[in-house]
Chain A
Amino acid sequence: MSASTESGLPAGKTWKSKEEFLGCVILTDWILLVILFAVLLGSFHIHYMLLAGDWDFWIDFKDRRMWPTVTPIVAMCFAAASQSFFWTRFRLPIGATTVVLALLIGEWINRYDNFWGWTFFPINLVFPSALIPMGFWLDIVLMISGSWLVTALLGGLGWGLLFYPINWPVLAQYHQATEIDGVLLTLADLIGFNYVRTGTPEYIRMVERGTLRTFGKDVVPVAAFFSGFISMLVYFLWWNVGKWFSTTKYLEIEEV
């Protein structure tokens, strides 16, 4: 098969005109962005659902200790990697917002179409955690500071601290106390008890319990602060993971 062009253009010419070039580049840029968005959606979603999924799936897992600790830490991985790529290579401060938006689109489609549509769990049991303002925060810190070090320290801490407050407007109503047969529990617990999940019985639900109550009302700030601390460390690591995956290295065929 001959590989020569059939265009009749002089050898070495790629484009017929500036208009053709510009039209093609703009379209191709958009398609590349869609590709990145879809791949990040799939990759981030499988990462997130299998490392933090249970706390994100169910309203009765959204407690004051495990949920605000685990979820931001797990989400930080892809936010940092994505920022590393978009900022280092294109100076675009959109990495974190883009990936959390992608994740939430995947999650909302799933919660509606599958959790509710196929297996009939009500949406108020299975809605995903909000993350978008955290994405804004991380991107704004990076944009203003221009430094991944500052973003790791300031952005990472804020990432952990913001998580609970931004989810609170939706969550608060489910943390109302209720009493059933003499047992005091939250509305979220009650919904959970009424919708039995065959694979996750109550005794393996990982939420705050027992002596942790001695912290009383301070559980959330402590958990959020801890989450922010680990998010900083995760940011350092995953910034470099993103950088590593941006490699343009080639291997010789004999090496493979």
Chain B
Amino acid sequence: MMNQTTEKAVSAAQADVTDTIVNFKPAYITMGVMLVFYVGIRIYEQYFGWKAGLDSFAPEFQTYWMNLMWTELPLEFVAFCAIGGYLWKTRDRNIDAVAPREEMRRILTLIGWLAVYAFSVYWGASYFTEQDGTWHQTVIRDTDFTPSHILEFYLSYPIYIICGWGAFMYAHTRIPQFSKRISLAFLMFFAGPFMIFPNIGLNEWGHTFWFMEELFTAPLHWGFVFFGWFALAVFGVARQVLDRVIELSKEYEKDALAL
């Protein structure tokens, strides 16, 4: 009798653990890994930017910079396909049967994805983009593939695109409200910043004609600005997520309002 009671208690405790509704740990870990990675990248460029990044015709430039680019680009492409493919392959094929608690769990997981996306947007749009400005004011560019570009355009931008793609696909394949229709806000939130990457084509095409003495505010750069605005669609995404959280939590509405 005693044993049975203990077993019941243990299994109830285990069920409680597996039934945790909030688990932001994967998001925290991903952001931690990203932070360590970018700090490492920053140390690399501090050293090899000056040591091997000044002359694109020098052999060491090929070794330390071009090889880095030819490594990162295929890896990013594979990661993009793998994340999208995995999320699609493991999609919920019976999405109408999602119970409210499970739906809430998935919404919270989506918030974790969005946190990772937001963190990667900071690194790409803020940190590495303005950093590029100071490099160009210091070293005369003799290639489109400068050290700062190799880390900005071809590393930090693809990384945020991958994170945004993952968030979008997670929502589309697992959360009922995002699976049957396409959220306009979510589409803009992902696709706008994504378009900054193809816009590099315009930017580099312009720069390729001549060594450009320029203001950082030169019109050639305004394509980045336009697509950057679309990140404001995070407003719509936040509203859609919160609206659904409220719907799923009707019974505690008064408690929430009393906070």
Residues of A in contact with B (beta carbons under 8 Å apart): 1-9, 11-16, 18, 20-28, 31-32, 34-43, 45-47, 49-54, 57, 81, 85, 89, 106-107, 109-110, 113-115, 117-121, 126, 197-201, 204, 206, 241-242, 245-253, 255-256
Q: Which of B180-205 contact A (CB under 8 A)?
A: 180-185, 187-188
Q: Is A115 within 8 A of B121, CB to CB?
A: no
Q: Is B243 within 8 A of A248, CB to CB?
A: yes
Does B72 interact with chain A (Cβ within 8 Å)? no
- In the complex, the chain A residue whose C-beta lies closest to that of B119 is A38
Does B100 interact with chain A (Cβ within 8 Å)? yes
* Complex CA–CA separation, A121 to B138 (angstroms): 9
Q: Is A28 within 8 A of B130, CB to CB?
A: no
A-B Cβ contacts below 8 A, count: 280
Q: Is A118 within 8 A of B99, CB to CB?
A: no
Of A4, A21, A54, A242, the residue contacting B255 (CB under 8 A) is: A21
Q: Is B215 within 8 A of A206, CB to CB?
A: yes
**Residues of A contacting B90 in the complex (Cβ-Cβ under 8 angstroms):** 1
Given A113-B42, A248-B239, A252-B181, residue A54 in contact with residue B215 (CB < 8 A): yes
Contact size range, B: 35 or more
Q: Is B216 within 8 A of A201, CB to CB?
A: no
Q: Is A119 within 8 A of B137, CB to CB?
A: yes
Output the residue of B104, B225, B241 with the most chain A CB within 10 A.
B225
Given A22-B252, A42-B124, residue A119 in contact with residue B114 (CB < 8 A): no
* Complex CA–CA separation, A45 to B132 (angstroms): 13
Q: Is A119 within 8 A of B138, CB to CB?
A: yes
Interface bits B222-239 vs A (CB < 8 Å: 1, else 0) = 101100111111111011
Overall SS of chain B's interface: helix
Given A1-B93, A39-B234, residue A11 in contact with residue B99 (CB < 8 A): yes
**Residues of B contacting A89 in the complex (Cβ-Cβ under 8 angstroms):** 235, 239
**Residues of A contacting B56 in the complex (Cβ-Cβ under 8 angstroms):** none
Does B46 interact with chain A (Cβ within 8 Å)? yes
Q: List 19 A-B contacts (CB under 8 A).
A: A2-B97, A3-B102, A4-B97, A4-B98, A12-B100, A18-B252, A27-B22, A31-B111, A36-B238, A40-B231, A42-B124, A46-B125, A46-B129, A46-B228, A49-B216, A54-B216, A110-B127, A248-B185, A249-B184
Listed from nearest, the 3 A-B pairs whose CB atoms lie closest are A42-B125, A43-B231, A5-B99
* Complex CA–CA separation, A163 to B90 (angstroms): 53
Segment among B2-10, B13-21, B75-83 that sits at the interface with chain A = B13-21
Q: Is B134 within 8 A of A247, CB to CB?
A: no
CB distance from B70 to the nearest CB of A (A): 24
**Residues of A contacting B131 in the complex (Cβ-Cβ under 8 angstroms):** 110, 114, 118
- In the complex, the chain A residue whose C-beta lies closest to that of B242 is A32
- In the complex, the chain A residue whose C-beta lies closest to that of B130 is A110
CB distance from B147 to the nearest CB of A (A): 10
Of B112, B225, B232, the residue contacting A81 (CB under 8 A) is: B232
Q: Is A245 within 8 A of B235, CB to CB?
A: yes
Does B133 interact with chain A (Cβ within 8 Å)? yes
Q: Is A18 within 8 A of B255, CB to CB?
A: yes
* Complex CA–CA separation, A53 to B97 (angstroms): 51
Q: Is A198 within 8 A of B130, CB to CB?
A: no
Q: Is A13 within 8 A of B236, CB to CB?
A: no
Of A2, A47, A197, the residue contacting B137 (CB under 8 A) is: A197
Does B248 interact with chain A (Cβ within 8 Å)? yes
